């Protein structure tokens, strides 16, 4: 997670605009959704707001931290890492 966030922070604005920030927001929203479903089963998850392309790195870290606090198994951790790595590759950073 930290690597992806660091790469986003170092990315030029043009790369963020070409989709890296949107990909980062999408994965942050997915991590947030997963955390909420584990924390409050049965409650509809709330969508993480779009705070702008320059906040995408921080949103990933916040969502990943929240999810890490509620994961229950090594398999769940591995799945979260896989989701982030695939997003990083799609973002091209």
Measured between alpha carbons, how far apart are the two ends of the chain, in Å?
12
Q: Is the pTM of this model over 0.85?
A: yes
The answer to whether residues 88 and 33 touch, using CB atoms and an 8 Å cutoff, is no
Q: How many CB atoms lie within 10 A of CB 13?
A: 10
| pLDDT tens, N- to C-terminus, the chain (93 residues) | 788 889 999 999 999 999 999 999 999 999 999 999 999 999 999 999 999 999 999 999 999 999 999 999 999 999 999 999 999 889 888
pLDDT reported for residue 92: 87
pLDDT reported for residue 50: 96
């Amino acid at each position: 997670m930290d690597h992806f966030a660091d790469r986003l922070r170092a990315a030029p604005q043009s790369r963020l605009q070409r989709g890296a920030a949107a990909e980062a927001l999408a994965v942050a929203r997915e991590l947030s959704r997963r955390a909420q479903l584990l924390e409050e089963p049965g409650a509809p998850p709330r969508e993480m707001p779009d705070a702008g392309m320059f906040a995408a790195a921080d949103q990933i870290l916040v969502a990943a931290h929240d999810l890490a606090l509620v994961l229950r198994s090594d398999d769940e951790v591995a799945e979260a890492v896989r989701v982030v790595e695939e997003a990083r590759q799609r973002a091209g950073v």
